[in-house]
């Protein structure tokens, strides 16, 4: 699978070879595809699955109420975690000598930090600045992508 993906991506690499080295190009393609699909998933979840409605989980002794944007963010975080880890491990950071389970734990930690930063920004943009949730999600993820890149390159998949 890895070789087929590399061969496909390598078809387009000459277009950006003066800007990016190959590893950064692979990282950018994986990251952008993850981010774009996450934006679409967030929009679909917020608009249609959770129908812009709050959800209350009644445990009898305690109730949890979730906003539709929080539920959408949770779904996107789970999706992004699986998609991102798989492609980063097998397409981008293939030379890493760390064991897969070590990479997974480190990725979980960096993804957790990114998810928390993203959710805090999402909440800030929606509740303080009154942005529309899908637009707030796009802006928050653009900010968090820098944090995520540094964590993944320097910590998660360190060579």
Q: Name the 3-class secondary structure at 60.
A: coil
Q: How far apart are CA 26 and CA 7, in angstroms?
A: 11
Q: Which residues pair with 55 in a beta bridge?
A: 66
Name the band, by pLDDT with cuts 50, 70 and 90, for residue 130: very high
Name the band, by pLDDT with cuts 50, 70 and 90, for residue 157: confident
Residue 2 has pLDDT above 70, yes or no: no
Q: How far apart are CA 41 and CA 80, in angstroms?
A: 10
Contact 102, 132 (CB under 8 A): no
Contact 38, 141 (CB under 8 A): yes
**Range of lowest pLDDT (10-14, 111-115, 124-128):** 111-115
Q: What is each CA distance from 96 to 100, 118, 125, 159, in whole angstroms?
A: 9, 27, 37, 5
Q: Across all residues in the chain, what is the average pLDDT?
A: 92
**Closest of 90, 88, 84 to residue 118, by C-alpha:** 84
Alpha helices in the chain (DSSP H): 2-12, 22-44, 68-87, 100-123, 133-151
Domain ranges of the chain: 2-13+21-156
Whole-prediction pTM = 0.87
Name the band, by pLDDT with cuts 50, 70 and 90, for residue 34: very high
By percentage, how much of the chain surpasses pLDDT 90?
76
């Amino acid at each position: 699978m890895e070789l087929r993906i590399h061969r496909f991506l390598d078809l387009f690499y000459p277009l950006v070879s003066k800007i990016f080295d190959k590893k950064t190009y692979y990282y950018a393609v994986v990251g952008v595809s993850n981010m774009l699909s996450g934006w679409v998933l967030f929009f679909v979840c917020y608009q249609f699955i959770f129908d812009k409605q709050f959800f209350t989980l009644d445990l009898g002794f305690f109730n949890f109420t979730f906003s539709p944007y929080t539920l959408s963010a949770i779904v996107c975080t789970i999706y992004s975690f699986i998609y991102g880890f798989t492609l980063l491990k097998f397409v981008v950071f293939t030379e890493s000598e760390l064991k897969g389970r070590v990479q997974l734990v480190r990725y979980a930690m960096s993804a957790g930090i990114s998810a928390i930063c993203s959710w805090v920004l999402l909440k800030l943009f929606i509740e303080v600045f009154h942005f529309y949730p899908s637009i707030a999600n796009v802006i928050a993820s653009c900010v968090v992508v820098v944090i995520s890149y540094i964590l993944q390159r320097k910590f998660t998949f360190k060579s």
